[in-house]
Amino acid sequence: MNKAHLLRQGFLSAPILRIVGAHHALGAKLIERNRFDGIWASGLEISTAHAVPDANILTMTDYLHAAVSINEATSLPVICDCDTGYGNSSNVSHMTKKYEAAGIAAIVIEDKLFPKINSFIPGRQDLATIDEFKGKIAAAKSAQRSADFMVLARVEALIAGWGMDEALKRARAYCEAGADGIVIHSKASTPDEVFAFAGHWQSKIPLVLIPTTYYGVTAEEFSKKGFKMVIYANHGLRASIRAMDETFRSIHDSGSTAAVEPSIATMREVFEIQGMNELKKEEEKFSGGSDIQAVIPAAADHHRQTGFGEILKDRPLCMLEIGGKTLLDRQADSLRSFGIREIFVVGGYSADRIKSEGVKILRNPRYADTGSAYSLMLAGDHFKKECLVAYSDILFNRLIVDQLLKSPYDVTVVIDRAYQTLPFRDKKLDLVIAED
Q: In what order do the strands lie in the sheet with 387-389?
A: 359-363, 342-347, 293-298, 387-389
Angle, helices 327-336 vs 398-406, to 10°: value is: 50
Query: Cα 398 to chain center, whole Å?
Result: 38
Note whether 57 and 116 are within 8 A (CB): no
Distances (CA, A) of 400 to 334, 384, 385, 419: 10, 23, 20, 16
Helix (H, G, I), strand (E, B) or coil at 166: helix
Note whether 170 and 158 are within 8 A (CB): no
Which residues contact residue 185 at a Cβ distance below 8 angstroms, ignoring those fewer than 6 apart?
A: 110, 119, 154, 155, 156, 158, 159, 209, 210
Distances (CA, A) of 247 to 59, 251, 379: 32, 6, 37
Instruction: Report the DSSP pairing between strands 150-155 and 106-110.
Output: parallel
Sign of the CA dihedral with 131 first, then 134, 136, and 138 last:
negative
Q: What number of other Cβ atoms are within 10 A of residue 357's Cβ?
A: 6
Q: Phi first, then psi: give them for residue 344, nearest 5 degrees.
A: -110, 140
Q: Considering 37, 54, 148, 329, which one is annotated as catalytic?
A: 54
Active-site residue flag, 291:
no
Question: Residue 134: which H helix or E strand, with range?
Answer: helix 130-143
Note whether 84 and 110 are within 8 A (CB): yes
Q: How far apart are CA 332 and CA 414, in angstroms?
A: 18
SS3 content of the chain, % helix, strand, coil (to 5): 40, 15, 45
Catalytic residue IDs: 54
